[in-house]
Amino acid sequence: MPEYDLNDPTDLDIIRGQFNMYTADDWEEYIQLAEERNFPYKNINILKTAQRKAGIAKYLSPKVILWVLDLVEKLDEDDDEDE
């Protein structure tokens, strides 16, 4: 994942746009995947928060959005290795 500057409005728009591309159903799949892989409870909980806020990134802090997108990237990488 590229490095984003949380003080740069353009970077904030980019990460919010990336977050908003995921639907609640997408988040459900990531939650199930994280539970199968025994991710820490804190990470699963933040994915559930992301599911509730799907499509409305403006209600999440930039740090939370970056955290969630990082988890998604890790889950996707693990998924690619399994295939």
Domain boundary assignment for the chain: 9-76
CA trace torsion 41, 34, 25, 52 (10° rounding) = 20
pLDDT digits (tens, 9 = 90+) for 21-72: 999 999 999 999 999 999 999 999 999 999 999 999 999 999 999 999 999 9
Q: What percent of the chain has pLDDT over 90?
A: 83
Q: At 2, is the pLDDT very low, low, confident or very high (cuts 50, 70, 90)?
A: confident
What is the pLDDT, as a whole number, of residue 77? 86
How far is the C-alpha of 36 from the C-alpha of 11, rounded, in Å?
A: 32
Q: At 1, is the pLDDT very low, low, confident or very high (cuts 50, 70, 90)?
A: confident
* Residue 83 reports pLDDT greater than 60: no
Give the E-state strand segments of the chain in sequence order. none
**Is 68:19 a contact under the CB 8 Å cutoff?**
yes
Mean pLDDT of 74-82: 78
